[in-house]
Amino acid sequence: MSIHVALNHVTRYRYGRSVVLSPQLVRLRPAPHCRTRVLSYSMRVTPEEHFVNWQQDPQSNYVARVFVPERVREFRVEVDLVAEMAVYNPFDFFLEPDAEHVPFAYASWQRRELLPFLEPEAMTPGLARYVDTLGRPRGRTTDFLVELNRRLSADIGYLIRMEPGVQTPDETLTRGSGSCRDTSWLLVQILRHMGFAARFVSGYLIQLKADVPAREGPSGVAADFTDLHAWCEVYLPGAGWIGFDPTSGLLAGEGHLPLACTPDASSAAPVTGGVEPCEVEFEHAMQVTRVHESPRVTLPYSEAQWEALLRAGDAVDARLVAADVRLTMGGEPTFVSESGRDADEWNTEAIGPSKRQRALDLHRRLRASFGPGGLLHVGQGKWYPGEQLPRWALSCFWRADGVPMWHDDTLMADEQRPAGHSAAEAERFIRTLAAHLGVGDTHVQAGYEDTWYYLWRE
């Protein structure tokens, strides 16, 4: 499901007299690596007598070179685009094994290509003190960067600053406040001094009002909103450029549309160019409008439409009951332990020190609740292609009429308290079972572990 939004952005310069403009460089087109899909884009320039040449700068950002041959009293740029706001997971990336933990080193070929993004400005006293408080980076790379980004959002207060240019890192740290471009440039310098390749990003930020208020924490903006914004991108081997927004403390998401990503903040300005000395009035206006919304459980259905849906559901239920159609729920509950939830056994591993025992405990509790007198069975489950062994499956069977299928729970095996049965007893049991089933000993087959295989694995 996605929402299509139309963004309109007008930038206008009004001059106190007719002036000559040098070629103006306009960086207001989403960059090629923008992860948010841009469905349409247009740019209109006033005055009408002008020439536009599209080019790409050394970082592959789109740049419009606008040349106005005559003297003008006004220069105006209007951008319209339609973007598909489809949610994506900003953590959906992998790192090369050597870069999963910090500190790490870029490969020599990477360092050559990333050199402009690795060169920091001279270390200043204020920046040095702040970097010292961060300590030597240790642990998982992603965790370190996320925490640094979050800390900057807490340490530096956000303010709207209309003055041109970017504060130095020391100014931002001393004041404890800055615009988005100030905090982002500070993050760029911190990362470069720590050995990370980082670049400054200027772009559009689109924030949409949530359908329903959040149960916990902030609910976001009160109305749909867009503005020019700045953030930082870090190059991580295996993942590429990953965006971090130190103003919010979050990773860049579908609402972040990069326009210019550059080694220096000054080369990412939306509009640059020369003009004769004169008085100038500057205007800037932006708006975002929803033009299409996929139906979802929260919007855009009206109360009347919801009532119609509920009535249709009731009618379907009534017909199912009349036809004696019974619906059941899948029998594969998925759960994660409250303690040690970050352990491999609750995320990637099939088994672990506590998973099997927790599953057996839940198995017995479900039997007591749903099927007293039911038969518990521990056996083989699904066997997926590429896996050496089948998954284990815990099953419980009981009769709908309540008649017990199993009477003596003491005869049920407990993996935590082995009874010491040997292979000979297992053979006697299977042969007796085969005789009772009338299939004979010819269908009994002995199983052996491949000792040599496990020795080879060790």
**CA–CA separation, 440 and 397 (whole Å):** 26
Question: What does the pLDDT read at residue 353?
Answer: 84
Are 43 and 29 contacting, i.e. CB atoms less than 8 angstroms apart? yes
Question: What does the pLDDT read at residue 57?
Answer: 95
Question: What does the pLDDT read at residue 80?
Answer: 98
**CA–CA separation, 327 and 143 (whole Å):** 44
| The residue count for the chain | 458
Q: Tokens 């299509």 — which residue?
A: 4
User: Which amino acid is present at 27?
Assistant: R
| DSSP 8-state secondary structure symbol assigned to residue 390 | P
* Residues of the chain scoring pLDDT < 70: 1, 329-333
User: Which amino acid is present at 170?
Assistant: D
Question: What does the pLDDT read at residue 441?
Answer: 84
SS3 at position 261: strand
Question: What does the pLDDT read at residue 55?
Answer: 97
**CA–CA separation, 115 and 58 (whole Å):** 13
Are 117 and 198 contacting, i.e. CB atoms less than 8 angstroms apart? yes
Record the tokens describing residue 71, joined without a space: 């003297």
Question: What does the pLDDT read at residue 42?
Answer: 98
pLDDT tens digits for 74-110?
999 999 999 999 999 999 999 999 999 999 999 999 9
Record the tokens describing residue 383, joined without a space: 């066997």
C-alpha neighbours within 13 Å on the C-beta side of residue 112: 3
User: Can you give the pTM of this predicted structure?
Assistant: 0.69
Record the tokens describing residue 127, joined without a space: 């920046």
Residues facing residue 115 across a β-bridge: none
